[in-house]
Amino acid sequence: MRILAVASECFPLVKTGGLADVVGALSPALEELGHEVQILLPGYPQVLEQLAQAGVIDDYAELYGGPARILRGRGANGALDVFAIDAPHLFARAGHPYVTADGSEWWDNGFRFAALAVVARELALGRVADYRPDVVHAHDWQAGLTPAYLVFDGRPRPASVMTIHNLAFQGQMPPEWLPSLGLPAWSFTPDGVEYYGGIGFLKAGVYYADQITTVSPTYAREIQGALWGMGMEGLLASRAGDLAGIVNGLDTSTWNPAADPFVEPGYDVRSLTVRARHKAALRERLGLVGDATRPLLCVITRLTWQKGMDVLMDAAGAMLEAGVELVVLGAGDPGMEARLAETAAAHPGRMACTFGYDERQSHQLLAGADAVLVPSRFEPCGLVQLQGLRYGCVPVAARTGGLLDTVIDIDEHPDDATGFLFQAGDAGALADVAARVVGVFGDLARWQGLQRRGMAQDLGWKRAAMRYVEVYERALGARG
């Protein structure tokens, strides 16, 4: 099959979160199965700078406020076949792709990502050069109008698939933008793009796509209920037969403790004792001066309500009292950063925080910490627990979404266990699981069993890519 992936980010060209990792890793995995994948991206400065062998394949005199060119080139050292929308008035902005320096969303995000969907439609319908895909795969709300535009065009079209990476981000735009976005007036109904009085980009994708996926089986079930359906549970439940949950894979070449440039010396499942050296270096660098035999838990995350950071702060004192050490790496809500700093200051030598995004330190934390704590209230899939499994950094995760699908609790399945699970959103449960961790950590054979089983997991993208191929085939079957 020829597959057009439509997304607002893709690692290593541009990344703000897990979406980029998925788009950047799934595409090569599909190609290894014999399929052809092209990726359509906004032409942010960092994308255009990294695009090699780029040539102009189409141009627009006007695309939502200015001229644009469509480039085709190679990215990631030739590993990715990329279409990029070179539209400086939309995408030539320094900093974050979606928000301004003060953290507010760009006022014209609706038009910026409508442009992404418009170009996707033109490519999908064979109007650009000699290209025409069999399947269009739209990722998250930024690409959500793509399936709608394909249907509204009215001509024979490829099959479409919509992937929800996080339902909390939906792309809600003012209703008066309907004509400016090129959407027909008759589409502004609940059986169309209308969503709680506005234009729902993700809602449109979910409604009009031939097939829908999200990033774990448990999350696929959760979003059909009121708790985590975010107002879209009715629509998702009505399309349950077209909704598949596929757990993300992991880029096992980037996340490989035996050959990680940030982790020297490297190690594997046969040389776990090397991790003690990394733990000692980590504790010294972060100023942890307590009992070195305590289990060290790291948290690598965005500092948000979704990620359970307020719950962590409520539980931190009791967790430290139970006998663990804590290290936090992340950035996000300024109030949460301030409160975390206060919590760490109240427990000197036993808790440390680093605020910001630091790729090197994230690798070193996973190599040196004993466990990775993931206290999310909800988690569509999660990647850090997979990274932890790969590095022998035992996952301690909330019982939700993809965390539940990828971590096996030691008390529930001791012979197959890879980590610990606890009730999401519950500070008391966090304190209790810290005590459980301390108890197991004192039994070297049990702890190393968790590490070895985790490191033996098949975490690559091949299995997930095969599942996506099945979804593409169902989407093509739906088109007839």
Reported as a single tens digit per residue, the pLDDT across 18-75 is: 899 999 999 999 999 999 999 999 999 999 999 999 999 999 999 999 999 999 999 9
Rounded average pLDDT over 318-330: 97
Give the residue extent of every domain in the chain.
2-249+461-479, 272-455
Neighbouring C-beta atoms of residue 187, cutoff 10 Å: 18
Global pTM value: 0.94
**Closest to 83 measured CA to CA, from 97, 72, 69:** 72
Angstrom distance (rounded) from CA 392 to CA 363 = 12
**Closest to 217 measured CA to CA, from 250, 194, 245:** 245
- What's 295's DSSP letter? P
Largest CA distance in the chain: 69
Task: Give the pLDDT confidence of 402-452 residue by residue, as tens digits.
Answer: 999 999 999 999 999 999 999 999 999 999 999 999 999 999 999 999 999
**Closest to 24 measured CA to CA, from 249, 243, 260:** 249
pLDDT reported for residue 103:
82
Alpha helices by DSSP H, listed for 325-443, are 334-345, 359-368, 384-391, 401-406, 427-441
3-state secondary structure of 195: strand
pLDDT reported for residue 101:
85
3-state secondary structure of 377: coil
Task: Give the pLDDT confidence of 112-171 residue by residue, as tens digits.
Answer: 999 999 999 999 999 987 899 999 999 999 999 999 999 999 999 999 999 999 999 999
Task: Give the pLDDT confidence of 239-294 residue by residue, as tens digits.
Answer: 999 999 999 999 898 899 999 999 999 999 999 999 999 999 999 999 999 888 99
pLDDT reported for residue 18:
86
Given this chain, do its domains 2-249+461-479 and 272-455 carry the same CATH topology?
A: yes
Tell me the pLDDT band of 77, cut-offs 50, 70 and 90.
Answer: confident
- Please check whether residue 314 is in contact with residue 427, taking contact to mean a CB–CB distance below 8 angstroms: yes
2-249+461-479: CATH architecture: 3-Layer(aba) Sandwich (3.40)
Out of 3.40.50.1820, 3.40.309.10, 3.20.20.70, 3.40.50.2000, select the CATH number for domain 272-455: 3.40.50.2000
